[in-house]
Amino acid sequence: MNHSLKPWNTFGIQRNAKQLVRAENIQQLLDVWRNATENGEPVLILGEGSNVLFLEDFAGTVIINRLMGIKVEERADSWHLHVGAGENWHQLVQFTLENGMAGLENLALIPGCAGSSPIQNIGAYGIELKHVCEYVDCVELATGDALRLTAAQCRFGYRDSIFKHEYQDRYVIVAIGLRLAKRWQPVLTYGDLTRLDPLTVTPREVFDAVCHMRMTKLPDPKVHGNAGSFFKNPVIGSKTAGKLLAQWPSAPHYPQADGSVKLAAGWLIDQCQLKGATQGGAAVHQQQALVLINQDQATSEDVVRLAHYVRQRVGEKFNVWLEPEVRFIGRTGEVNAVETIA
């Protein structure tokens, strides 16, 4: 148990793994997975650890997915990108803009790797991965069989996909396929983007505005360890939403296609005056209440206690029960995050 996981989780929490391996090709990844499995040991495949909280030391092998490469095919109306799972997401966004391909700029500065993006169906400022995803390439770990899933087969939902359910431990994502339309339509529905002129704005200006918003509101993990948004924005029924909005008419809310309403978790937490609240070395970020930070050598227990405290306070005030967006990893694999903090 002497392989430190501290460099492999952006929370910067000190936990160890029995073994740690960087996989640079599919065969190497499969071989390591099979060796561990044959020895009856758990395996965890990580990108950059930007969305995990290690609750304990990991009792098996952690594989760092470093399958690289970006291929671009140009067609009459679109560009089609085939991106290795180990590519850094933000660098991919920069690559597309530098090469005249727009469409990913709203997703700038989202931490993590390309291969993690479909698991969460990452999203920000009005765009989700599902809007640009064409396919996801996986390999079945037990057999080595390759499988290409269309975007529809990925069952993308809000911070959700098939990779969080029946494909979670059976398949590893090795690449993603993206389609970027040549007829660019800016999405300017959130935050500072609403102040930009849709008739004259450029993809680079959207990218710069998104980067500015994220850098001014969100803490740098190199300074204060964090995993970005800790909680999902809750989605509630229209009846519940009606009652809540009658009492708090200024609450940010976003009606969904199915009649439900998405609320802003950060606003709910802020209304409970929780910015700066601490448990041990963990704190609610002063600028963005949705982010829990490792303020002073926090343990995972500190983070769990703080998440529980935040959830209880919001639940008592609004009768809305927050769920973590971050994946909680126990000794042998992922555990239920809601149950852990309930």
For the question of residue 229 being annotated catalytic, the response is yes
Burial of 216 (0-12, 13-18, 19+ CB in 10 A): exposed
Written as one letter, the residue type at 289 is A
Within 10 A of 71 (CB to CB), how many other CB atoms are there?
Answer: 11
Buried b (16+ CB within 10 A) or exposed e, 267-276: bbbbbbebee
For the question of residue 78 being annotated catalytic, the response is no
The Cα 219–Cα 12 span in angstroms is 13
Given the residues 117, 229, 300, 313, the one annotated as active site: 229
Given the residues 66, 159, 214, 311, the one annotated as active site: 159
Which of 187, 165, 69 shows the shortest CA–CA distance to 121?
Answer: 165
For the question of residue 134 being annotated catalytic, the response is no
> Contact, 58 vs 42, CB < 8 A?
yes
Paired residues of 84 in beta bridges: 175
Given the residues 48, 87, 128, 325, the one annotated as active site: 325
End-to-end C-alpha distance for the chain, whole angstroms: 29
Catalytic residues: 159, 229, 325
